[in-house]
Amino acid sequence: MDIANIALDAGYAGIKGAVGGLIYGALFKADIKTAIVACAISGVVWHLFVAITQEATGGWEAKPILTGASMVTGTLVIGTIQIAAFRHLGLIGTPGTVWFSTVTALCSVIYLSIAYIQTHKASFAP
């Protein structure tokens, strides 16, 4: 992975995050400017984390357990920071916190499942 592609993909993730923030702000009557900036930053941070993790661990094919553990840890840390930041900015209340926590936990389970499948994929072959 080269730096130019990572930067381009991170920029695209930021744009998707900004659009998500616009929709979120409009739907939940939150401060739209704050939602756009917060969601754009979240998108860029998450994309850069995934790119760094893939590069550092060698990816799902090379080291599925290490990649899965890194992704679970990163998901929990970034999710917790994101929930705290969104609460601090007044973008979410208790229902939003429950929703974000559920999504963070679900993503962790998905990454553990991917790691398990990648590790034991030979046993799934017919």
Model pLDDT for residues 75-108, shown as the tens digit of each residue? 888 888 888 888 898 888 877 788 888 888 888 8
pTM: 0.75
Say which residue, 93 or 1, is predicted with more confidence: 93
Question: What is the arithmetic mean of pLDDT over 46-56?
Answer: 89
- Is 80 exceeded by the pLDDT of residue 69? yes
- Rounded to whole angstroms, how far apart are CA atoms 30 and 23? 10
Q: E strand or H helix at 35, and its extent?
A: helix 32-57
- Is 70 exceeded by the pLDDT of residue 126? no
Q: Looking up tokens 């590069």, which residue turns up?
A: 55
Contact 114, 64 (CB under 8 A): yes
pLDDT at res. 14: 87
What's at 106, amino acid-wise?
Answer: L
pLDDT at res. 7: 82
- Is 70 exceeded by the pLDDT of residue 111? yes
pLDDT at res. 10: 84
- Rounded to whole angstroms, how far apart are CA atoms 99 and 76? 14
Give the residue among 83, 78, 92 at the shortest CA–CA distance from 47.
78
To the nearest whole number, what is the mean pLDDT of the chain?
A: 85
